[in-house]
């Protein structure tokens, strides 16, 4: 009986460890982009993976940094340990304590420290800074592996080899190195593992337009991971399993001389492959980080999944400008990045109230509309709306717009949905998805109680916060773009969503319906702006002009499904159901709406305090 339970518990552990990986592998063969819906078997994502320049470039970046950092840190760590063998005990202790600081220290402290150091030295962040950072934290792990073995070496062996006429290098290679090879390899493997898996330090030292797999996946988590990443993860898992099998099989044939020769050949082949991968990765990384199109560069900072990727390629082909494209999850994340370095990106796509804040804090420059003739395609009503956050329309050009509303499943909700109150109905406990956004969440509670979503009344905000705290036990999750997949997969009955996402979810699941509550909602506009210290101002204007072109805006609308303010693009829509859709192009005169405004530092801090109070409540 005891044996049965031990095996049962062991089976549970293995299921807990490997079920998520098996799920990921299954999803890599799912024809649907939504993880919540099985669309049939396909190999499309594996084909797309190797055609996706972003993912493949990121993979080469990751491998080249990991391999180079491993080689350099292993060499430095080993040489240091050997040198310390001849040092006195006090010196050895001091050096080891200093070397161990990066290993003992919290990764976030190391990452921020290195970031500040690179900024103080005016070093351009990218491949070089990540490599230096990885070498820094890899060296202690190598030394931790090599040093104990070095302490056990008999120094007389090396001295004896010298006395017998061997040169110092030959004596080291024949008398010392064979004793250290196992621990050197172990230290190198540890360094490689730490480097290829690192996220925090890489995140703080990577700079604009440079990604590794860890930072790419992190940026995709809040907006939904692409199926190509599932395919890549499956390949990595299978490769690791193959190596584990190989490692366990080889010792069994160790006594066979031919097998030993075969292992040497395998080792040589692996070494060649590693060096080849390093060379290719380094060239790719350096090319990504330093190459420039014939007409220069352009750094673009936009929301996740907020542009048709083909348009970036089209822009590069038409203009000869090399686009470095990065994505952010929230306005607040974007603002923090730009406040830190306003020259990091040339073109940005913030929302209305954040544009107002950036104008007030002198982070944007006025546009030269003589370089943006296609701006005339933007409807007059959208220019009028933009006046609320950009007086005189000097700094921004509308890109997308929409509303915030409730998406509900008609098979799970059998009543009319016309009020925010339904999000507080006990009947739907555990079936409600809320937006993980300070302004959107508080907007719902404020407008439900009859207040403006731009109120600075502390009592009104406290009432809204208490309502959200009371609602919290009913909420399944606070999410951003994940509401899309959860609603498609029938994982929730109600979810707060942006109108553009609602169009996509209805295409995937016809049981879903979108409504704007009677109490009113936020109508938002996201616009293109140019940073104050942009290094590529002319190219930035070319980008905005390109995105305002009718055919480009139409193609983009078909891909992202967010409403376009481009009237010329709207005329190109052939599907009358979409063209006259109340979700894509609602009549704002028939509903109560408000645009977010920047409320000043003090009120913004008050909103954030109330939101933290909600998120920290039990």
pLDDT digits (tens, 9 = 90+) for 387-398: 989 999 999 999
Q: Which of 327, 329, 333, 318 is nearest to 299 (CA)?
A: 327
Please report, for the chain, the start and end positions of each structural domain, with discontinuous segments joined by +.
Answer: 2-42, 50-222+254-288, 297-398+528-555, 401-524+600-616
State the pairing for strand pair 297-303/494-498.
unpaired
* Residue 555 neighbours by CB distance under 10 Å: 17
- pLDDT above 90 covers a percentage of the chain that reads 37
pLDDT at 144: 87
pLDDT at 224: 62
The two three-digit tokens of residue 602, written as one number? 């003090």
What whole-number distance in Å separates Cα of residue 109 and Cα of residue 115?
10
Lowest-pLDDT range of 167-181, 383-397, 445-459, 551-565: 167-181
Residue with tokens 């306003």: 342
pLDDT at 613: 92
pLDDT at 253: 54
pTM of the model: 0.71
What whole-number distance in Å separates Cα of residue 196 and Cα of residue 171?
35
Q: First CA to last CA across the chain, in angstroms?
A: 42
Lowest-pLDDT range of 40-54, 241-255, 435-449, 474-488: 241-255
**Mean pLDDT for all residues in the chain:** 84
pLDDT in tens, 535-585: 999 999 999 999 999 999 999 998 988 899 999 999 998 887 777 777 888
What whole-number distance in Å separates Cα of residue 232 and Cα of residue 50?
9
What whole-number distance in Å separates Cα of residue 29 and Cα of residue 41?
5
Instruction: Give residue 65's pLDDT band: very low, low, confident or very high (50, 70, 90).
Output: very high
pLDDT at 34: 67
pLDDT at 283: 45
Q: Which CATH architecture has domain 401-524+600-616?
A: 3-Layer(aba) Sandwich (3.40)
CA distances from 326 to 303, 329, 411, 483, 569 (A): 8, 11, 39, 23, 25
350 pLDDT above the threshold of 90: yes
Cα 499–Cα 594–Cα 571 angle in degrees, nearest 5: 50
Crossing angle of helices 438-448 and 458-471, rounded to 10°: 100
Q: Which CATH superfamily is domain 297-398+528-555 in?
A: Periplasmic binding protein-like II (3.40.190.10)
Q: What is the DSSP string of 264-322?
A: HHHHHHHHHHHHHHHHHHHHHHHHHHH--BTTBEEEEEEETT-S-HHHHHHHHHHH-PE
pLDDT in tens, 196-230: 888 889 988 887 777 888 888 877 765 567 788 88
Instruction: Give residue 76's pLDDT band: very low, low, confident or very high (50, 70, 90).
Output: very high
Lowest-pLDDT range of 241-250, 338-347, 359-368: 241-250
Q: Which of 604, 606, 600, 602 is nearest to 465 (CA)?
A: 606
110 pLDDT above the threshold of 70: yes
Q: What is the DSSP string of 484-525?
A: HHHHHTT--SEEEEEHHHHHHHHHH-TTEEEE--TT-EEEEE
Query: What letter does residue 173 receive in the DSSP assignment?
Result: I
Query: What are the residues facing 531 on neighbouring strands?
Result: 364
The two three-digit tokens of residue 220, written as one number? 């995709």
CA atoms within 13 A on the CB side of 244: 6
Query: What are the residues facing 302 on neighbouring strands?
Result: 327
pLDDT in tens, 225-249: 778 888 888 888 888 788 777 766 6
Query: What letter does residue 172 receive in the DSSP assignment?
Result: I
What whole-number distance in Å separates Cα of residue 373 and Cα of residue 367?
12
Span 179-190, average pLDDT: 86
How long is the chain? 618
CA distances from 455 to 518, 595, 600 (A): 19, 12, 12
pLDDT at 323: 92
287 pLDDT above the threshold of 60: no
Shared fold status for 297-398+528-555 and 401-524+600-616: yes
Higher per-residue confidence, 245 vs 493? 493
What whole-number distance in Å separates Cα of residue 553 and Cα of residue 561?
11
- 494 close to 408: Cβ distance less than 8 angstroms: yes
pLDDT at 222: 57
CA atoms within 13 A on the CB side of 74: 22
Instruction: Give residue 30's pLDDT band: very low, low, confident or very high (50, 70, 90).
Output: confident
The SS3 call for residue 379 is: coil
pLDDT at 256: 53
CA atoms within 13 A on the CB side of 539: 25
The two three-digit tokens of residue 318, written as one number? 């038409």
Q: Which of 380, 373, 342, 376 is nearest to 359 (CA)?
A: 342
The two three-digit tokens of residue 530, written as one number? 């140019």
- 125 close to 210: Cβ distance less than 8 angstroms: yes
Residue with tokens 């996509």: 504
Residue with tokens 């921020």: 112
Residue 261 burial (C-beta neighbours within 10 Å; 0-12, 13-18, 19+)? exposed
Fold of 50-222+254-288: MetI-like fold (1.10.3720)
Span 110-115, average pLDDT: 87
pLDDT at 282: 46
Span 357-361, average pLDDT: 93
Higher per-residue confidence, 325 vs 542? 542
pLDDT in tens, 527-549: 999 999 999 999 999 999 999 99
- 420 close to 448: Cβ distance less than 8 angstroms: yes
pLDDT at 284: 45
pLDDT at 336: 86
Helix and strand numbers, DSSP H then E, in the chain: 26, 10
Instruction: Give residue 277's pLDDT band: very low, low, confident or very high (50, 70, 90).
Output: very low
Lowest-pLDDT range of 352-361, 396-405, 497-506: 497-506
CA distances from 360 to 340, 351, 364, 453, 599 (A): 16, 14, 9, 20, 11
């Amino acid at each position: 009986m005891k044996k049965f339970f031990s095996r049962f518990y062991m089976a549970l552990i293995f299921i807990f460890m490997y079920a998520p990986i098996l799920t990921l592998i299954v999803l890599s063969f799912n024809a649907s982009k939504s993880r919540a819906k099985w669309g049939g078997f396909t190999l499309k994502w594996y084909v797309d993976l190797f055609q996706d320049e972003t993912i493949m470039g990121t993979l080469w970046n990751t491998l080249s940094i990991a391999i180079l950092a491993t080689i350099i840190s292993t060499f430095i760590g080993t040489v240091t340990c050997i040198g310390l063998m001849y040092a006195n005990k006090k010196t050895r202790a001091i050096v080891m304590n200093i070397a161990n600081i990066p290993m003992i220290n919290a990764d976030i402290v190391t990452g921020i420290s290195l970031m500040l150091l690179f900024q103080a030295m005016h070093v351009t962040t990218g491949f070089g800074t990540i490599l230096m950072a990885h070498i820094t934290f890899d060296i202690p792990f190598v030394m931790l592996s090599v040093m104990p073995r070095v302490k056990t070496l008999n120094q007389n062996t090396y001295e004896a080899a010298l006395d017998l006429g061997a040169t110092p290098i030959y004596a080291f290679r024949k008398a010392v190195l064979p004793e250290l090879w196992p621990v050197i390899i172990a230290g190198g493997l540890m360094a490689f593992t730490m480097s290829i898996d690192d996220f925090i330090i890489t995140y703080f030292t990577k700079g604009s337009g440079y990604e590794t797999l860890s930072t790419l996946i992190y940026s995709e988590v809040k907006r939904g991971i692409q199926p190509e990443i599932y395919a890549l993860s499956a390949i990595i898992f299978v490769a690791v399993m193959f190596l584990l099998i190989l490692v366990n099989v080889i010792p069994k044939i160790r006594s066979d001389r031919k097998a030993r020769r075969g292992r040497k050949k395998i080792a040589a082949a692996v070494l060649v492959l590693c060096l080849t991968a390093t060379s290719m990765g380094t060239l790719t990384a350096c090319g990504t980080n330093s190459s420039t199109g014939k007409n220069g560069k352009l750094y673009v900072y936009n929301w996740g999944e907020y542009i048709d990727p083909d348009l970036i390629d089209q822009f590069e082909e038409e203009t000869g400008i090399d686009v470095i494209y990065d994505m952010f999850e929230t306005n607040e994340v974007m603002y923090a990045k730009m406040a830190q370095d306003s020259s990091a990106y040339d073109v940005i796509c913030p929302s209305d109230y954040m544009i107002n804040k950036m104008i007030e804090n002198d982070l944007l420059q006025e546009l030269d509309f003589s370089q943006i003739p296609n701006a005339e395609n933007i409807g007059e009503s959208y220019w009028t709306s933009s006046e609320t956050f950009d007086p005189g329309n000097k700094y921004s050009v509308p890109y997308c717009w929409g509303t915030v509303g409730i998406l509900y499943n008609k098979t799970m909700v059998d009543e009319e949905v016309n009020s925010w109150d339904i999000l507080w109905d006990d009947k739907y406990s555990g079936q409600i998805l809320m937006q993980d956004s300070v302004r959107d969440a508080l907007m719902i509670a404020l407008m439900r109680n009859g207040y403006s979503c731009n109120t600075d009344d502390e009592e009104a905000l406290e009432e809204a916060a208490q309502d959200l705290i009371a609602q919290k036990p009913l909420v399944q999750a606070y999410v951003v773009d994940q509401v899309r997949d959860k609603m498609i997969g029938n994982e929730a009955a109600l979810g707060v969503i942006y109108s553009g996402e609602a169009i996509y979810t209805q295409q995937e699941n016809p049981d879903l319906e979108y409504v704007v509550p009677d109490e009113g909602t936020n109508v938002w506009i996201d616009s293109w702006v140019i940073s104050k210290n942009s290094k590529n101002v002319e190219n930035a204007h070319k980008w905005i002009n390109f995105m305002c072109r009718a055919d480009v805006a139409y193609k983009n609308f078909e891909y992202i499904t967010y409403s376009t303010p481009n009237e010329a693009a709207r005329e190109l829509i052939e599907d009358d159901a979409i063209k006259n859709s109340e979700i894509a192009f609602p009549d704002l005169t028939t509903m109560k709406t408000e645009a977010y405004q920047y409320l000043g530092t003090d009120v913004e801090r008050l909103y954030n305090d109330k939101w933290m109070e909600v998120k920290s409540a039990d």
